Structure 1
C-alpha cells in the first residue's frame, strides 16, 4: 500500500448532528470529523467528547433509539454499519406527524 493510499484510508468520517442534539449539547460542534470503523465506534467517539450523547442516540439493548436516525451515505444505518474512510454521516431525530 502506498503512502497516498494510507492517507486516503485515514480520512475521518464527517458526522453532522441534527438540531435536537445541537440543542441538548450546545457545546457540541454541528459537524465533527471522527475516526471510526462502525457507527458504534462513532457513537463511542461522540460520547467521549460529549458525555451523555450515547444515551440520546442509543437505547439499552443497545441499538439506535426508535426516535433517532443515523444515515451513512444517505442510507439508514445500525450500530453495526461500517463507516468507509471519509463517510458522510447524519444523526437526526425522526420526524413524525399526523
Structure 2
C-alpha cells in the first residue's frame, strides 16, 4: 500500500557520533575511555549521553547556565561548537581542555 514510510526511515533515536575525550577528564571517571561512541544529534545530547555513562561528566563539561565551560572547548568538523550545535551521524567530536597560565 502506498504512502507508508520505509522501515529504514524510522529509527529509535539519534545515530552514533565518536567523542574524543581529553586525558585530564578521563582520569576523573573510572572506566571512562578516551574514545567513546555516543548516540546524539546535538552537542547537548552528547553531553547527556556522556553523563548517563559517567554521572558528573556534565558538570565537568558544562556550567550552570548551561553552556560549555570557559576552559573546555568542543570541536565538530574542525569548528568550535556550542551545546546547540547539531551533529551528523558518524561525526568526530573533540572535547579539549584549554591550557591557560600566567
Q: Shared fold by TM > 0.5?
A: yes
**In the TM superposition, what are the counterparts of 1:14-25 in structure 2 within 5 Å?**
14-25=18-29
**Aligned-residue RMSD, C-alpha:** 2.1
Distance 1:87 1:5, change over 3 A: farther
Is contact 1:19–1:92 with CA below 8 Å preserved after alignment? no
Which residue does 1:29 correspond to in 2?
Answer: 33
Q: Which is helix-richer, 1 or 2? A: 1
Is contact 1:68–1:94 with CA below 8 Å preserved after alignment? yes
Which residue does 1:63 correspond to in 2?
Answer: 67
CA distance in 2, matches of 1:40, 1:59: 12
Normalising by structure 1, we get a TM-score of: 0.86
Deviation at 1:73, TM superposition (A): 1.3
CA distance in 2, matches of 1:31, 1:17: 6
Which residue does 2:96 correspond to in 1?
Answer: 92
Greater gyration radius: 2
Q: Which runs of 4+ in 1 moved over 4 A?
A: 1-6
Deviation at 1:27, TM superposition (A): 1.3
Which residue does 1:53 correspond to in 2?
Answer: 57
